[in-house]
């Protein structure tokens, strides 16, 4: 009976608070939407950053945590997207001798090559590489096989195509054994790669044709001296290996003193570091904005609450006269403000799910919703409710019944 | 029920001490109907606040239901008010966001008495006061007399011993005032102790006892 009474009293109490909120709905909606916006931005930030990190982790896994890319041209030229041939064929040989290197993949990329099959055209890049290309990148085949060591030695006109190229030229057809024209060279398709999606640089990894390096450098372009890139894998410490590679290349290229490198080294660590920097600044800027939004809405809530308390002095007085304790008044006002921010928080979470999935579809931004986001958002809205409600609730609880009732 | 001994109340206004009550001795027993009469500034409202456990005396002893109340803390006082006293005020003080029956139910939220079926009880009270068709109306949709009757129902819902009414007819016309006072008489006949505080001499006739306050002291105490 006592328990039942407690429950029905609690229900009465909650119902009353809801009626109060409804009665003052104008200002409630005002403070509520502030909280909603704040929580919305917090949710979006967290899901975006989580999404970016997850994506980065995927790229990291895909590239292999022990890999180092060596490109021709220094950082400045790369930044300006100027292609400079500085990486020599002999360099690859030297790099193969660096301590700890157990895998070496060489590439020469020819860009803007037109592919033709039947009446279809597609312009893309041709990557000439060593036979270990697919193993090195852990890239699986949808169908077919890689080109063989024999193909490589004999500079055979065979190719493996990316999923995008397949879609553009062969969609709905079995491409294996078919001949397509690469530039001017009729080339036999031996395999189709699985889809991999965007790369760290923003290119579509699937939009490429891979052929033996020897075929590309002798039959598509005439390039016997330089390589575009070398990809190395090490079983030694990554940073130390990078130092050795740099030293080897600087010696080979005759770079002394403080002359800039004429090549660029990239490891999977750089990609992670890059994402960390990006998500860090994202967190900093958007996070600040979100916190500011929450603080402002907290202030708005507190101020509107103060106003309400002046208006509700008699309400408080009558409740005190009829047996409400100071604690009871304090709790009911706190409950009111927490309820507002809590509902605001839930609305923010729901909106962020809707907005987030829209972003994901429209702009291809990876988003990752998690339980963590919900917990964070609810915690934040709860805190806002307590912090902005505490002072007004304390004020309300200190009102004496006689001063409230006196006209 | 109420035993006031040499109750004094004074305030400090700046440096000056302002004495409102100058030693009140008053006993009120169960079942009485007391009209506490005094002009404004006589101290009658202060006295009512002390009697109603809303304010504390500066000096003197107050036994309420044989309990010395000056030593009670906020929580005990709130509990005592809830348990024993039903308040009625001049301005009704109904909460605007609740309808009539919900207003009546307010004391139940704080009650520890375990009143059975409070909603049915509130409905019965409103019906008894002729408000059965007003149960779900908001205060703003009720006339003054109706609002005061809702307020009286609220005062009664938790079964208090004592109804304490401060100028209950102050905001009503004379006809409605008469009806409200009749209601108090009816409740008194049912056994409730009633104290009505007023400045209006016309109300004196409704009570069984008249206590007149003048300048912070009792000047007259007649049982009719």
- pLDDT reading at B3 higher than 80: yes
B65 inside domain: no
- What are the tens digits of pLDDT across the range B98-119? 999 999 998 988 888 888 888 8
B195 inside domain: yes
B165 inside domain: yes
Query: ∠ CA B123-A315-A385 to the nearest 5 degrees?
Result: 115
Q: Is A260 helix (H, G, I), strand (E, B) or coil?
A: coil
d(CA A165, CA B224): 110
Which chain A residues have a beta carbon less than 8 Å from that of B152? none
CB-nearest partner of A315 from B52, B95, B114: B95
Residue A295 Ramachandran class (φ > 0 left, ψ -120 to 50 alpha, else beta)? alpha
Which chain A residues have a beta carbon less than 8 Å from that of B139? none
pLDDT for the residue A1:
46
A258 CB near a chain B CB, below 8 Å? Answer: no
- pLDDT reading at B95 higher than 60: yes
Tokens of A239: 């940073």
Beta-bridge mates of residue A299: none
B20 inside domain: no
Which position has the token pair 């339980």? A371
- Give the number of domains in chain B: 1
HSE of A119, CA atoms in CB hemisphere, 13 A: 0
Report the chain B residue with the minimal C-alpha distance to residue A16: B98
Range of the domain at B41: 28-57+72-223
Query: ∠ CA A342-B109-A382 to the nearest 5 degrees?
Result: 15
Q: Across the interface, do B114 and A12 touch by the CB < 8 Å criterion?
A: no
Which chain B residues have a beta carbon less than 8 Å from that of A22? 97
* Ranges in chain A, pLDDT < 50: 1, 200
Please report, rounded to a whole number, the percentage of residues in chain B having pLDDT higher than 70.
Answer: 100
Lowest mean pLDDT among A117-126, A305-314, B169-178, B179-188: A305-314
Using only the alpha carbons of chain A, give its radius of gyration: 33
ipTM summary value: 0.88
Beta-bridge mates of residue B195: B34, B164
Chain B residues with CB under 8 Å of a chain A CB are: 49, 52, 54-55, 74-75, 78-79, 81-83, 87, 89-91, 93, 95-98, 102, 105-111, 114, 154, 158
Which chain A residues have a beta carbon less than 8 Å from that of B170? none
B5 inside domain: no
Using only the alpha carbons of chain B, give its radius of gyration: 17
Give the count of beta carbons closer than 10 Å to the beta carbon of residue B182: 11
- We report the CATH number of the domain holding residue B131 as 3.40.50.300
- Cβ atoms of B2 and B53 within 8 Å: the answer is no
B219 inside domain: yes
pLDDT for the residue B15:
84
Q: Across the interface, do B89 and A405 touch by the CB < 8 Å criterion?
A: yes
B86 inside domain: yes
Question: In chain A, positions 322-381, which contact chain B (CB-CB < 8 Å)?
Answer: 322-328
Report the chain A residue with the minimal C-alpha distance to residue B47: A402
Mean pLDDT of B87-97: 90
pLDDT for the residue A62:
67
Query: With the C-alpha atoms ordered A292, A294, A297, A303, is the resulting torsion angle positive or negative?
Result: negative
Confidence (pTM): 0.68
Report the chain B residue with the minimal C-alpha distance to residue A7: B109
Q: What are phi and psi of B98, to 5 degrees?
A: -115, 150
- Cβ atoms of A137 and A202 within 8 Å: the answer is no
- What are the tens digits of pLDDT across the range A238-271? 889 999 999 999 999 888 888 888 888 888 777 7
d(CA A39, CA A46): 11
Which chain A residues have a beta carbon less than 8 Å from that of B91? 314, 407
pLDDT for the residue A200:
47
B6 inside domain: no
Tokens of A11: 């229900």
- What are the tens digits of pLDDT across the range B11-47? 888 888 888 899 999 999 999 999 999 998 888 989 9
**DSSP labels, A99-113:** TTEEEEEEEEEEEEE
Q: What are phi and psi of A32, to 5 degrees?
A: -60, -45
Nearest alpha-carbon partner for B180 in B159, B158, B165: B165
- Cβ atoms of B54 and A401 within 8 Å: the answer is yes
d(CA A241, CA A318): 79
């Amino acid at each position: 009976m006592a328990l039942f009474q407690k429950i029905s009293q609690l229900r009465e109490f909650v119902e009353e608070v809801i009626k109060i909120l409804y009665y003052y709905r104008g200002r409630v909606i005002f403070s509520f939407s502030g909280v909603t916006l704040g929580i919305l931005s917090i949710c979006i930030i967290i899901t975006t950053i989580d999404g970016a990190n997850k994506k980065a982790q995927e790229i990291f896994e895909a590239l292999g945590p022990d890999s180092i890319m060596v490109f021709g041209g220094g950082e400045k030229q790369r930044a300006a997207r100027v292609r400079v041939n500085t990486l020599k064929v002999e360099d690859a040989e030297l790099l193969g001798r660096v301590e700890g290197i157990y895998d070496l993949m060489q590439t020469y990329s020819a860009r803007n090559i037109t592919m033709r099959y039947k009446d279809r055209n597609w312009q893309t890049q041709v990557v000439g590489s060593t036979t270990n290309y697919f193993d090195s990148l852990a890239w699986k085949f949808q169908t077919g096989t890689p080109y063989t060591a024999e193909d490589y030695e004999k500079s055979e006109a065979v190719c493996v195509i990316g999923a995008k190229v397949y879609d553009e030229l062969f969609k709905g057809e079995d491409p294996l054994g078919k001949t397509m024209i690469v530039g001017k060279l009729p080339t036999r398709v031996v395999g189709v790669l699985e889809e991999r999606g965007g790369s760290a640089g923003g290119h579509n990894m699937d939009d490429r044709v891979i052929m033996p390096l020897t075929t590309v450098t002798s039959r598509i372009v005439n390039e016997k001296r330089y390589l575009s890139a070398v990809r190395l894998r090490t079983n030694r410490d990554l940073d130390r290996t990078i130092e050795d590679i740099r030293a080897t290349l600087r010696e080979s290229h005759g770079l002394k003193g403080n002359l800039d490198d004429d090549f660029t080294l990239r490891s999977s660590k750089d990609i992670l570091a890059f994402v960390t920097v990006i998500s860090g600044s994202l967190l900093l800027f958007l996070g600040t904005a979100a916190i500011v939004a929450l603080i402002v809405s907290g202030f708005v809530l507190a101020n509107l609450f103060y106003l309400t308390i002046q208006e509700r002095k008699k309400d408080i007085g009558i409740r005190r006269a009829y047996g409400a304790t100071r604690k009871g008044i304090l709790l009911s006002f706190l409950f009111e403000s927490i309820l507002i921010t809590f509902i605001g928080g839930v609305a923010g979470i729901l909106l962020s799910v809707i907005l987030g999935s829209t972003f994901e579809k429209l702009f291809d931004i990876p988003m990752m919703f998690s339980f963590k986001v919900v917990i964070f958002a609810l915690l934040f809205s709860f805190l806002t409710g307590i912090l902005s409600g505490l002072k007004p609730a304390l004020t309300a609880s200190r009102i004496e019944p006689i001063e409230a009732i006196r006209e | 029920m109420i035993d006031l001994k040499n109750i004094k109340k004074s305030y400090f206004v700046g440096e000056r001490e302002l004495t409102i009550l100058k030693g009140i001795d008053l006993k009120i027993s169960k079942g009485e109907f007391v009209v506490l009469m005094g002009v404004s500034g006589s101290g009658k409202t202060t006295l009512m606040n002390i009697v109603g456990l809303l304010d504390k005396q500066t000096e003197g002893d107050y036994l309420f239901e044989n309990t010395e109340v000056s030593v009670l803390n906020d929580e005990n006082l709130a509990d005592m008010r809830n348990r024993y006293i039903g308040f009625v005020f001049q301005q009704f003080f109904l909460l605007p966001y609740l309808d009539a029956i919900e207003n009546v139910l307010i004391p139940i939220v704080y009650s520890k008495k375990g009143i059975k079926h409070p909603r049915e009880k509130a409905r019965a009270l409103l019906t008894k006061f002729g408000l059965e068709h007003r149960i779900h109306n908001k205060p703003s949709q009720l006339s003054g007399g109706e609002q005061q009757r809702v307020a009286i129902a609220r005062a009664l819902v938790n079964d208090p011993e004592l109804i304490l009414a401060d100028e209950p007819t102050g905001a009503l016309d004379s006809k409605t005032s008469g009806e409200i006072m009749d209601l108090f008489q009816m409740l008194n006949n049912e056994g409730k102790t009633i104290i009505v505080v007023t400045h209006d001499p016309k109300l004196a006739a409704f009570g069984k006892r008249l206590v007149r306050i003048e300048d912070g002291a009792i000047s007259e105490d007649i049982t009719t």
